[in-house]
Structures are given as C-alpha cells and as structure tokens.
Structure 1
Amino acid sequence: MINDKDFAKEVTRIINLIAKTIEDNDITGNIDVDVNGDILNITTQSGIFVLNKQASVKEIWLSSPVSGPYHFLHDGKSWKSKSGKELFSVLSKDLDIQIKDLL
C-alpha cells in the first residue's frame, strides 16, 4: 500500500495533471477548471465535477453529475473504483475529453 507522503504527492500530481489536460484539450472553452489545494472543481454544462483527496482512506473521491460518485484506490498501477472502473476512463467519458493515464 502507498505511504502517506507518496499518496499526498501522487494525488497532487494527478489533480494537476487532470486540470492541465482539461485546459489543454477543451477547444470549445466550455469547461471551467479550479484547483484549490487538494480539491479540483470542474464546471461544465452538465454540472460540477468535484475531485478530492481522502487521506484517511488513501482514496481519490469523484462526484460526477454524469455518472455519480466514485471512490478510487491506487492498486499499484492505476486508480480504480471497487467496481473496477479506472479514474481517467471515467473522467474521459463523462467530460468527453481524452485524459491519458500517465502514472
């Protein structure tokens, strides 16, 4: 399992990666991205997505107005939900923007 220091570093990297990827690929300019510490708010026409760090359980939580809530745990290779859905895949589908897994 990932230790606390590495978890914090990885989540910061993931949040910044997602924010930059959205900003770089939102050619229509319809998505607003706001990073505030360990919280990423993504405002779209579909609603507000919230991605944040849950340090006590070492998870990334996503609230999606498109597909609902998710809790993602790092499995040593990627961030996956209990149902096996991968973080970048869920966001790519819900936002209709390709977010690459750069772990």
Structure 2
Amino acid sequence: MERYHQLSDETMDMLLEDLEQLIEDHGDPSFEVEYHSGVLTLKLGDKGTYVVNKQPPNKQIWLSSPFSGPKRYDYTESDGSWRYSRDNKPLDELLNDELGRAFNKSVQLSLSSSRS
C-alpha cells in the first residue's frame, strides 16, 4: 500500500504540474485544474471536465473523461506506467490524444515513474 501511495502521488503531482503549464500556455480563462485530497479536476470550459482520482482500496487511478468515459488504471512495474486493462493503453497516451484534440495542439504528458 505504501508503494501504491508513493507511485500514485508521484503520478498525480506530475500530471498536475504538466496540466498547469498546459493551461497557462493555452491562455483560456475557462480552463482550470485543481487537485485536492487525491482528486484532480481539469475543467476545459465547453469541452467538458476530466476527473482523475486515486483509488487506494483497488490500488488504481481512475479517470472520468468527457470524451471516452470512465476507465480504471493499474500500475505496470515493467515500464512504470498506469495502464487500462481492457486495451493495455497507458493513461498518458489517452490523455495526450484527447487533450491534443481539446487544446488543438500536440500534447506530450509523460506519467511514467522513470520520467526524469
């Protein structure tokens, strides 16, 4: 459980930092990101709201996307990523694709624990 908290906290912190920078660079006042008590909320104005939250009982990170709906991500030790078991895609890959469309530019989040 301690390892889960370390990894999920690290991921949420990286995600928050990257999203804050993305929003700042974008300059749309209707876009905002907040993080409280393990729940990250990304509001994209008329494009919808993302919610990313820690789920300690399951040792997962859950995502609610306005584009692709809900997904549950498990940590994969082999590459240090959070992956969705149904399609094996990492969380950052889905977010890069969807946020790229929402921001109308290339987005390159990297949420692996091997990130420097």
State the TM-score, normalized to the length of structure 1. 0.89
> Equivalent of 2:27, from 21, 29, 36?
29
Partners of 1:98 and 1:59 lie apart in 2 by 22
Where do 5+ consecutive residues of structure 2 fail to align?
A: 101-106
Q: Counterpart of 2:17?
A: 20
Matches of 2:96 and 2:20, distance apart in 1:
13
2:97 pairs with 63, 79, 93, which one?
Answer: 93
Please, what TM-score do these two structures have when normalized by structure 2? 0.80
Report how many aligned residue pairs link the two structures: 100
**Is 1:80 aligned with 2:75?**
no
SS of corresponding position for 1:15? helix
Does 2:4 match 1:7?
Answer: yes
Unaligned runs of 5+ in 1: none
After the TM superposition, which residues 45-56 of structure 1 pair with which residues of structure 2 at under 5 Å, given as runs? 45=45, 46-56=47-57
Q: Percent identity?
A: 26
Q: Which has the larger radius of gyration?
A: 2
Structure with the higher helix share, 1 or 2: 2
